[in-house]
Structure 1
Amino acid sequence: MKGYKHWVSVTMSFLLAATVSACATGQSVQGETAAAYPTRQIEYIVPYSAGGGVDLVARATADYLSKEWGQPIVVVNKAGGGGAVGAEFALKQAKNDGYTALAVNVSNTTMLAAGMKNPPIQNEDQIYTARIGKGTLAFAVKADAPWQDFAAFSQWVKENPEELTWTSVGPAGFSAFGVAQWLDAIGADFSKTRMIVTKGASDSVPKVAGSHAVLAVHTVGEIMPMLAAGKVKILAVAGEERSPFLPDVPTAQEQGIDGLTVFWWTGVSFAKGTPDAVIQKWEEGIAKMTSDPAYLQKLGEIQVEPAYADRQQFTQDTEKETGAYTELATKKGIRK
């Protein structure tokens, strides 16, 4: 019996020592892995077609961080469902190991949640890691349209809402929220206006230039090519300040129309459960990137303004924005 007890005691001591050793080793390996991340290729999912604002920002980001971290970051376009298809892949289908990042933006997050009672992707499905940049909302009409300023145009719309046709990728798209907020601000009847469904800015702005729609509401960058060609004119931009890319175009607020706060933004998010060390590395990497003059120059070339927000601020902003857009969508009948 004494021998048995001695054997048990020795065995238990050995197992305890092994367990402690394993835990210590595990912690060490885990720490080394976190410090070394990334150790292989990362897929950066863009839930839209190539060439758009989200895609261009993602490619500039991937290029910067690939060089910074010494590992390839490959942009993969997975378009469809207004950004939901790619988001679902990155947040619900891929492994949450930090090697699948999502190029998240306002359309497939706060606006999606506001426009649908049961959206396929919700704020709770992701970790908002860092916001990168923003785009100013602009109101464009045909170059030879009779209105010379936004105030006169808004008055015409208020008196003739049934004559206003405007473009959007859908009833809960970025343009729809911009139009809804503007019409609410001027007291015009949103329900009497008519939306013309398009595939995006590359389809929408030419429709305005060709007199197939009266108004296009997109970011400055998306309208810029047709503006430079003299096919359309921008009557106003939203926000409290003029766009640095269109310093001669007054804000809506300057023209007596307050409350236009809708703006475009893009950033990075990861699936729930992604290691915190990965989130922190991306957060810090993007903070450094958005203060780098060379990267800022790239953003400027596509008319995107830097708008860095860390994980905490980014999360708070999206939650607040979701509430505001849900209220607007419910009020205007957008929420389905």
Structure 2
Amino acid sequence: MPNIPFRSRRSCIKGIAAVVGGLAWLGSVQAQTQPDASYPSRPITIVVPHPPGGSVDGLARIFAVKLGEELKQSVIIDNRAGASGMVGAGVVARAAPDGYTLYLNASIHNINPLLYGKKMTFDAVKDFTPISGLAQGALIFSVNNDVPAKTVQEFVGVVKAAPNKYNFATTGFGSAGHLAIAQFAYEAGLSDLQVPIVLYKGGGPALTDLIGGQVHALADPMLSSLPMVKSGKIRALAVTGDKRSPLLPDVPTMREAGLKDFEFYSWYGLWAPAKLPEPILKKLDAAAQKVTTSASMKEQLENLGFESSYRNSADFAQYIQAETAKYGAIIKQANITAD
């Protein structure tokens, strides 16, 4: 063994340590910027905070199949309904941020804090990682067939003439349909007439009573309302998007029907618990992009009245913030409270 002076040996050891440390730092940086190759190594669960059969559940089941194919792993839907989606959201907020518990919901996730505030057991922003915006869908504004109105303006006229005779239905307190009805009443000049809004715990019961005439108007996602319109059981007066739906080409938008500032979409996104590791976030976001922008997924969504509206994690977070501000304005002008 060469006779290396003590100081030289110490310098050599320090040099080796520096190289090893540099390699460790480089590995750490790469781990933060590159997807974890081992993820996912077991089935993923997507919590849907609504019962089976609704628009959120329908979208989630389509997305889960495609996501599983993309990640080459099973993706399971877990319906945790209750409290306007807050039961399921609470489950996810308390879950480990390991990418194996995800959360798919609609815009109501960010409407709830505006209504329930400190009553909530979690923070809808701080306790979640926004992964991707997935899709959006206009609502159908429809009426019972016995309502003597074939257009939005005719409907406004008959309600103004007999406000005590008519009411609105909504599929859940604070839902997109609830806020769309509140916005419609405000822009149509019906707010001061105090037309009753009947709250239901889902689209099924609301549609049943709309068909039966117990309620007279409803704003509801196409997934549930479109079959009733197509079968002639209810009458569609308008859609709430900025353009006509190819599924209802003869039905005008609210803007075309005379409400110049009216545009309303229910949107859908994917979240995880807070502090999701960056490599897993990037892998899930990339997979969601491939799924939602694929031709087959777009076709499936369009057939159900949705449209693909992929937003990456950063854009989705900004979009949520802007939409929450819009919802807050509607809630304030309509004086909607949870008390």
TM over 0.5: yes
Taking the TM superposition and a 5 Å limit, the aligned residue runs for 1:1-336 are 34-90=36-92, 92-109=93-110, 111-118=111-118, 119=120, 120-189=122-191, 192-336=194-338
Counterpart Cα distance in 2 of 1:282 and 1:21: 27
The one-letter amino acid paired with 1:97 is D
Is contact 1:206-1:226 (8 Å) kept? no
Counterpart Cα distance in 2 of 1:30 and 1:217: 44
Change (3 A) 1:242 1:46: same
Query: What SS does the aligned partner of 1:124 have?
Result: coil
Q: CA deviation at 1:297?
A: 2.1
Counterpart Cα distance in 2 of 1:31 and 1:183: 49
Counterpart Cα distance in 2 of 1:171 and 1:40: 36
Counterpart Cα distance in 2 of 1:202 and 1:184: 26
Q: CA deviation at 1:17?
A: 7.8
Counterpart Cα distance in 1 of 2:294 and 2:71: 15
Change (3 A) 1:78 1:190: farther
State the superposition RMSD in angstroms. 2.7
Counterpart Cα distance in 1 of 2:103 and 2:80: 11
Counterpart Cα distance in 2 of 1:179 and 1:298: 27
Query: What SS does the aligned partner of 2:280 have?
Result: helix
Counterpart Cα distance in 1 of 2:43 and 2:176: 32
Query: What SS does the aligned partner of 2:333 have?
Result: helix
Is contact 2:130-2:271 (8 Å) kept? yes
TM-score, length-scaled by structure 1? 0.88
Is contact 1:201-1:218 (8 Å) kept? yes
Is contact 2:144-2:234 (8 Å) kept? yes
Change (3 A) 1:252 1:33: closer
Q: CA deviation at 1:23?
A: 5.6
Q: CA deviation at 1:178?
A: 0.7
Q: CA deviation at 1:79?
A: 0.8
Alignment gaps of 5+ in structure 1:
none
Counterpart Cα distance in 2 of 1:292 and 1:210: 40
Counterpart Cα distance in 1 of 2:35 and 2:209: 52
The one-letter amino acid paired with 2:104 is A
The one-letter amino acid paired with 1:269 is W
Q: Deviations over 1:176-231 (max 9, x none)?
A: 20111011111212571212221211111110110111111101221012222221
Q: CA deviation at 1:63?
A: 1.0
Counterpart Cα distance in 1 of 2:159 and 2:168: 11
Is contact 1:113-1:326 (8 Å) kept? no
Alignment gaps of 5+ in structure 2:
1-6
Q: CA deviation at 1:85?
A: 0.9
TM-score, length-scaled by structure 2? 0.87
